[in-house]
Amino acid sequence: MSDVSDPIFAKIAHRYDRINRILSLGQERKWRARGIDMLSDGIVLDLGCGTGDTDFGDRLVVGLDPVVEMLQLSPVRSRVAAVGERIPLRDGVFDGVFSAYVFRNLSSVEETLSEIERVLKPGAAAVVIDLSRPAHRLLRVLHRLGTAVVLPLVGLLFARAPKEYWYLHKSLDSLPAPEQLLSGGDLDLEAVWRSGLFGFVYGACLRKRPAAASVDPAA
């Protein structure tokens, strides 16, 4: 996914989930759950699954992540070490795709969305949860100032990795707003919502178009 971010996540793998809960004030699982509720039952690809700390209910889950140190901590039985830009799985096999806090670290969002579309069944949904700057200009400035201080401090206190969490601060400015980032491709953008302080967490639901109905030439 990224030559820059992958070594960072390998270093903090054992502390990753705990720090996420601290930074989100305990809300992080709720943000994921809202997106998971939009997925159908069946087989779900957890793209960028990390340590597998996501509750998908009774769905069958395949976890995919490029960071082996993360995958080794996952309780998910079906795990694949790979990147989102090149998913080594068959076409049209998944009833849903879920990806949380991954898109800022991709080498190519466009290639990853194309791969998601390929592995989804027709009509199935993909849900993306990630962090972004607030939409309002003033709140965006305040949020940028806050993360410049808070994120490296949390990284220092809880992971002994202030430089790694400075990277997280910078990554929040790496991509456009989700309405722009996720529209215009082969997947239809159905909904975008905001959560968290100042709305810095976004969720998006995209859907693969249904298969085109065949036309009987004899009709």
Check if the beta carbon of residue 178 is closer than 8 Å to that of residue 192.
Answer: yes
**Mind listing the pLDDT tens digit for each residue in 19-43?**
666 666 678 889 999 999 999 999 9
Given this model, what pLDDT does residue 6 score? 55
Identity at 157, one-letter amino acid code = L
pLDDT tier, 135 (very low <50, low <70, confident <90, very high otherwise): confident
Higher pLDDT, residue 23 or 55:
55
pLDDT tier, 139 (very low <50, low <70, confident <90, very high otherwise): confident
pLDDT over 50 at 13, yes or no: yes
Cα 45 from chain centroid? Answer: 11
Domain ranges of the chain: 5-208
Rounded mean pLDDT of 81-88?
Answer: 96
Q: What would the DSSP string read from start to end of 5-24?
A: HHHHHHHHGGGHHHHHHHHT
CA distance 151 to 32: 21
Given this model, what pLDDT does residue 216 score? 53
Give the contacts of 153 (CB within 8 A, at least 6 positions apart): 162
Which of 26-35, 98-107, 142-151 shows the lowest per-residue confidence on average (mean pLDDT)? 142-151
Query: Domain spanning 5-208 has what CATH number?
Result: 3.40.50.150
Percent of the chain surpassing pLDDT 90:
52
CA distance 21 to 17: 6
Given this model, what pLDDT does residue 211 score? 83
Strands 43-47 and 78-81, sheet pairing: unpaired
Q: Which two tokens stand for residue 197?
A: 């302080």
Rounded mean pLDDT of 115-144?
Answer: 88
Q: Which two tokens stand for residue 29?
A: 């699982």
pLDDT over 70 at 98, yes or no: yes
Cα 63 from chain centroid? Answer: 12
Rounded mean pLDDT of 148-174?
Answer: 66
Which residues in 184-215 are b (16+ Cβ under 10 Å) and which e?
eeebebeebeebbebbbbbbbbbbbeeeeeee
Given this model, what pLDDT does residue 12 score? 61
Q: Is 165 exposed, middle or buried (CB count within 10 Å of its CB: 0-12, 13-18, 19+)?
A: buried
